[in-house]
Chains A and B, each alone.
Chain A
Amino acid sequence: MSELLQVTNITAGYGDGPAILDGAHLTVEPGKVHCIIGPNGAGKSTLMKAICGMLTIRKGDVIFKGKRLNGMRPDQILREGICFVPQERALFPKMTVRENLRMGGFILNDQKELERRIDGILERFPILRERADQHAGTMSGGQQQTLAMARTLIIKPAIVMLDEPSLGLAPKVIQEMFDIMKMMSAEGVTVLLVEQNALMGLKNSDWGVVLDLGRTLFEGPAEMILSDPRIQELYLGGKKAA
């Protein structure tokens, strides 16, 4: 048992609305890529928001490295080392690429160190270096997603949560996003991914989680989930349920 993040039976929802999550659990192991799949409205994004502190957790626990994260603010959770890239609009469109990266290290106090890390990121992503002084909003979808993912590396997080990084991107570009994700994983960053395209997501992951109706139905190695007939039928576009 060497879990990095343990989510047990949480209940959460927006405002005083109904509970979107009700009995979701999740185990995250260090260094692996985890993929959460499930139908629309299952609570996938909600689960990520609950983990990173954007939603109040009504019941259950989020334990990270043995520490309880419930009730902490997003900035505090970020300082613990969990970074969340929300769907689509994660950037500051009227800031330059460099300014966006600088915002990525907002919680760092050492400005010199921050500039060093920004240069390091620009070094590793030539596409961003070329556009360092361009407004982020003027870049293509793939470039923007690259920036959003690269930006998380500034603070050297333990876990990066990505909410549908492939959304609205061309198939060829999607593969690039998964490549960046694998690279992050190879560097020891643990990745938690929400993917609408369940098949593609699972194929690029080590561990799979099936979320439906606000609770976790299955959790297991990705290849095991891929080969389970019930899951194929319900979530992977296999033969329709009767």
Chain B
Amino acid sequence: MTVTLQQSTTSGVLEARRLHNEKLARKADQTRAAWFPLALMAVLVALPLLQLTGNYNYVLHMVLFTASYVAMASGWNILGGFAGYISLGHAVFFAIGGYFSGMILARFGVSTIVTAPLAGLVAAVIGYLIGMVTLKVRGPSFIISSIALLMIARILFDNWEFVGGANGVTLPVTSLPVLWAKIPYYYAMLAIAAFSVWASYRIKHSKFGLGLRAISKDEIKAESAGIDTRFYKVMAFALSAFFVGMAGAVWGEYITYLRPNIFLIMPIAVNLVLMAILGGKGTVAGPVIGAVLIVALNELFVAMMGASELNILGTGLVMALGLIFFPLGLVGTLARRGKLPRVLNWD
């Protein structure tokens, strides 16, 4: 038996260990393009000028619709992407925002555009309270609790006579001419969307955001590093509810009625998750790109097949294939491969 005591020295081993560790480390790409979202914003702000040349209500509607989802998906991303708590029940806050501002509009005639921030706040407070209960658990348990939340809210709203029960409430129609009817809501939703993207960027780069990301990686370690994980999580829940609630407020007046089967439905809750995950959970640009993609895809499905059953089938397939082949989402997958175009790096 030969003894293989190799001739090596102490410093040699230490040097080798250092090189070994360097080999394992990955280098991160740090370039970002802040000009792109700003330029995009400028184009969208100028877009209603099109109305001077003809009726482009459909275009405005699509942008508004997409913007509402950008706001909601970005809001969802604060909890689902940064903190890693996936909620399939965020449609609840869409409804809370919509109903709160909508009822004020119906009773006192105050536009939802004015009360939207207040609606967001109400949604945030309720989110905070719900989070106190459901955020005790994580992973699958949390996901299921969020589904149950949506179910409970649906039953409650369906039976709440004050807000019209299952029939809902009809809201006053705007007195603006058809060509300009969409404009106030268009700018309101655009502002909400821009605000949520900006806020999501600020949160990601704050100490708070760092704490949330630590929680999503390893909650126990985050806690032992001195992060008040409970407070962080609940705050993330409240913040995410805030943006979803604001979008809901304006959406209610825009479509002129509140009804549980419009606000409290699974497809809305699923869309938020789908957009954030397919776009790139935990990134700033991800939910935006996801929203654009899914809205476009939905339009395509409806135009092609019409039937809502096939629409569900299509959404399910896209979600499954996306999860299997791009678990990190478009932005995440491209970034990992080092192929993320600079215009999409907003982090």
Contact = CB atoms under 8 A, between A and B. Distances in A.
* A contacts B directly (C-beta below 8 A): yes
Interface stretch (B6-14, B183-191, B203-211, B276-284): B6-14
Q: What size tier do the contact residues of chain B reach?
A: 10 to 19
Contacts of A228: 5
Contacts of A25: 4
Nearest to A18: B24
A220 B4 contact: yes
Interface residues of A: mostly helix, strand, loop or mixed? mixed
A219 interface: yes
A217 B6 contact: yes
B13 A212 contact: yes
A221 B3 CA distance: 8
Contact of A213 (B6, B10, B11, B17): B17
Contacts, number: 41
A5 to B, nearest CB: 14
A234 interface: yes
A241 B10 contact: yes
B312 to A, nearest CB: 34
Contacts of B11: 241-242
Residue of B4, B11, B14, B24 most packed against chain A (CB within 10 A): B4
Contacts of B20: 213-214
B8 A217 contact: yes
Q: What size tier do the contact residues of chain A reach?
A: 20 to 34
Given A1-B1, A27-B1, A217 B24 contact: no
Contact of B10 (A1, A29, A233): A233
B107 interface: no
Given A18-B24, A29-B1, A214-B20, 18 more contacts: A216-B4, A217-B6, A217-B8, A217-B13, A218-B4, A218-B5, A218-B6, A219-B5, A220-B5, A221-B3, A224-B5, A228-B5, A233-B10, A234-B10, A241-B10, A241-B11, A241-B14, A242-B11
23 contacts: A18-B23, A25-B4, A27-B1, A29-B1, A212-B17, A213-B16, A213-B17, A214-B20, A216-B4, A217-B13, A218-B5, A218-B6, A219-B3, A219-B4, A220-B3, A220-B4, A230-B8, A230-B9, A230-B10, A233-B10, A234-B10, A242-B10, A242-B11
